[in-house]
Structure 1
Amino acid sequence: MGRGVLYPHEHESIVSVDRQAPCPELARFVEFYWHVRWDTDEPYETKVLSHPNVHLVFEEPAPLVYGVDRALFVRKLEGRGQVLGVKFRPGYFRPFAGRPVIELADRRIPATEFLGPAVEEVNRAVLGTTDLAVMVRRAEEFLLPLLPAVPDPVAEEVAEMVGRITADPALFRVDEAAGTLNVSTRTLQRLFAEYVGASPKWVLRRARLHEAAARADQGARIDWAGLAGDLGYFDQSHLTRDFTAVVGTSPARYARS
């Protein structure tokens, strides 16, 4: 899954993760497909610092749509199983949602609500194999006819906005992001509520937490005060409070775990 998965070394011993790119016709809408398999004798909680993306997940007992999880995504894995996820690009689930994507935030919703009852049959077909290429093909055969006839130019604009502000380490505040994107703060907030499902402030903050966790996962000694300054925090205490509030432990303790 890449950046955002917490305790990755422990995770890799239990969970197998593969990714596949979408076909060209779906590349505008989908970042990638992710396939997770697990086999564990003891219950295991996988924890993820989510990204500003909506996911369609083919899983038992029924397919679900996951809105942006603004806290910490936690899922208990037991026994043996698999799921196939469709990670939509920021803004690009809006045509399927039929309403502002912020209404999906922190929720897991039956996929039938957005994609109709046929998605349940597709769910069975997708999970009826362990071959990732076959799983993706079956999912894409279902999704392609559902694409909107007319592309939404605002969705592409919003996707680019999310990409720019998460890739720029010098952006710490919403007003700075709005100025860089040549829109007003209010417009940026409105677009993110309508298309992304999380506020610009959350997106900026989450990008900083992703970086802090990624640094901690490297295993090298970290100058936390220096990192806090690099990430735009007032001081190390500010970073520690922010990280602990979401992850449940301080960044220094997380790095030692």
Structure 2
Amino acid sequence: MVRWFWIPQWDIQPGRTSRQHVIAYPACNLVVEAGAAELSGPTTRASHRDLAGTGWAVGALLRPAAVPHFTADPAALRDTSVTVDAPELVRQVSATMPHRHRSAVDAFAAWLAAVTAPPSADALLANAMTELIDADPDIRTVEDVATRLSVSVRTLQRLAVRYVGLPPLAMVRRRRLQEAAARLRTDPTVTLADVAADLGYSDHAHLAKEFRSVLGLTLSTYRREVS
């Protein structure tokens, strides 16, 4: 049901803010902060959050199989979020934060296990689809995914609509852009041309155009702002 849990904490000096740039995975996140729980839908662009004061969050990056429990239409949540009525989850997680991270994750996982039904065959196939797209750098097209999973392209499209909220082609493109962003973030010496070649783009211009059209940033701007 969950790929991983993530826990940010911050303590910003009074009168200052810290801008956090985010290129999120094309997936839903269930997030608990002090007093509330929210379901964030799949994102289609880069975003940011300005942190101030002190705070924390405990989030779960959901696998597709978990999504139908919280929404029947994940596409309606693209680039937005809704409040989730989960007072027991909020209470249990808040009781452990900000110091007992392991206990917060255990409480979150136990709550999810209690409220979600066992995954169907379609749900497990949707999980396999996203895992393949995320893990295999040789996946370049939707047809590649369909062939590897021995299903039709139409089946993938149906699964993506119900369990992810984005078309499978958008998921493939996003995975490659995630990798490009990670390379730019972590290796200041790598050239844009090398990143493009390693990820299977025809040239640097093709990567730059897709990065800008999908995420709303130029490659050089992103590298400058996160360096």
Identity across the alignment (%):
32
Tell me the secondary structure at the aligned position of residue 63 of structure 1: strand
User: Which residue of structure 1 lines up, in the alignment, with residue 48 of structure 2?
Assistant: 74
Using a 3 Å threshold, how does the CA distance of structure 1 residues 58 and 79 change in structure 2: closer, same or farther?
same
Runs (4+) of structure 1 exceeding 6 A deviation are: none
Any gaps of 5 or more consecutive residues in structure 2?
A: none
Tell me the secondary structure at the aligned position of residue 193 of structure 2: helix
Using a 3 Å threshold, how does the CA distance of structure 1 residues 140 and 213 change in structure 2: closer, same or farther?
closer
Q: Distance in 1 between matches of 2:216 and 2:80?
A: 21
Q: Distance in 1 between matches of 2:195 and 2:139?
A: 15
- 1:219–1:255 contact (8 Å) kept in structure 2: no
Q: Distance in 1 between matches of 2:125 and 2:133?
A: 12
1:24-53 deviations in whole A, cap 9, x for unaligned?
xxxxx1222211101112112212211132
**Alignment equivalent of 2:6, drawn from 26, 30, 34:** 34
Total equivalences in the alignment: 221
Using a 3 Å threshold, how does the CA distance of structure 1 residues 125 and 72 change in structure 2: closer, same or farther?
same
Within 5 A, what are the aligned runs for 1:21-60?
Answer: 29-41=1-13, 42-60=16-34
Q: Distance in 2 between matches of 1:103 and 1:253?
A: 30
Per residue, is there more helix in 1 or in 2? 2
Does 1:133 find its partner at 2:102?
yes
How much has 1:190 moved relative to structure 2? 1.3
1:52-73 deviations in whole A, cap 9, x for unaligned?
3211111145210111112123
Tell me the secondary structure at the aligned position of residue 33 of structure 1: strand
Any gaps of 5 or more consecutive residues in structure 1?
A: 1-28, 113-118
User: Which residue of structure 2 lines up, in the alignment, with residue 6 of structure 1?
Assistant: none
Does 1:120 find its partner at 2:87?
yes
Does 1:197 find its partner at 2:171?
no
Q: Distance in 2 between matches of 1:32 and 1:232?
A: 28
Q: Distance in 2 between matches of 1:98 and 1:215?
A: 33
Report the aligned-residue RMSD: 2.2
How much has 1:186 moved relative to structure 2? 1.9
User: Which residue of structure 2 lines up, in the alignment, with residue 88 of structure 1?
Assistant: 62
Within 5 A, what are the aligned runs for 1:221-232?
Answer: 221-232=189-200
Tell me the secondary structure at the aligned position of residue 169 of structure 1: coil
User: Which residue of structure 1 lines up, in the alignment, with residue 131 of structure 2?
Assistant: 163
- TM-score for the superposition, normalised by structure 2: 0.86
Q: Distance in 1 between matches of 2:133 and 2:200?
A: 14
The letter for the 1-side match of 2:141 is R
- TM-score for the superposition, normalised by structure 1: 0.77
Tell me the secondary structure at the aligned position of residue 24 of structure 2: coil
How much has 1:83 moved relative to structure 2? 0.7
How much has 1:109 moved relative to structure 2? 0.8
Q: Distance in 1 between matches of 2:89 and 2:185?
A: 37
Q: Distance in 2 between matches of 1:224 and 1:146?
A: 45
Q: Distance in 1 between matches of 2:55 and 2:128?
A: 35
The letter for the 2-side match of 1:46 is Q
- 2:32–2:58 contact (8 Å) kept in structure 1: yes
Q: Distance in 2 between matches of 1:60 and 1:176?
A: 43
Tell me the secondary structure at the aligned position of residue 36 of structure 2: coil
